[in-house]
Amino acid sequence: MRMGEGVEWGLHCCVTLGWLRDEGPVPIGRLAAWFDLPQEYLKKRLQALTKAGILTSTPGVRGGFALARPPERITLMDVVAALEGAAELFRCEEIRQRGAGAEGARFSGPCGIAAAMRRAEMAWRRELAAQTIADLMAEAPASGERTRRNYARLRA
C-alpha cells in the first residue's frame, strides 16, 4: 500500500500556485518544467484537482491553472482526497458473516476490526485536515521569494 506520486506533485504545485497567485494562471508546461515532471500525466492529475474544485483552469492562449480558493481554505486532506479518492484505506468486506464461522450468529453490532481501523484512519485524516497550503507556504518563505523571482525571469 503506497500513495501515488501525484500527491507529492499536487501538493508542490498547489504551494507554488499559492506563491504565484498574483501572476495569473500558470500553464501546465511551465509547471512541468518547474519540477521536471512528465507534462501530460501531471496535467491529468491537476485535472482531478480541478474537478474537485481546488484549482480553476482557464483555456486560451493566456490560460493555465490557478488556485480556486485562498490557500488558507485548502487542506492537505482536500488534496489527498481529490487525487487518491475519498474511499477509506481499510474496506470491511464483512467476512465474519461468511463461511462456517458464521453458523448461528446474529452480528448485532458493527465489526470491531473495522471500527479499530476506522479509528486509526480518522486520526490520519484529522491531521491532514489540520494543515493547509497556507501553513506550508509560511514554513518556507525563502522558497516563496525565490519562486517568484525565478518565475518572473522565465516570464520575461
Partner DNA sequence: GGGAGTATACTCGGATATGGAATGTCCGAGTAGGTTCGG
Partner DNA sequence: CCGAACCTACTCGGACATTCCATATCCGAGTATACTCCC
64 interacts with DNA by CB under 7 A: yes
SS (H, E, C) 117-135: HHHHHHHHHHHHHHCEHHH
Smallest Cα–Cα separation from 9: which of 151, 128, 25, 39? 39
Site string for a second copy, 61-100 (x = CB under 8 A): ---------------x-------xx-x-xxxxx-xx-xxx
**Cβ 57 to a second copy shortest distance, Å:** 21
In the complex with DNA, the residue whose CB is nearer, 57 or 143, is 57
62 interacts with DNA by CB under 7 A: yes
- Long-range contacts, 103-108 (Cβ 8 Å, 24+): none
106 interacts with DNA by CB under 7 A: no
Total residues contacting DNA by CB under 7 A comes to 27
In angstroms, the CA 128 to CA 116 distance is 19
| 87 φ, ψ (degrees, to nearest 5) | -65, 150
Given the rule CB under 7 A, which residues bind DNA?
A: 1-2, 4-6, 25, 27-29, 38, 40-41, 43-44, 47, 50-51, 57-65, 85
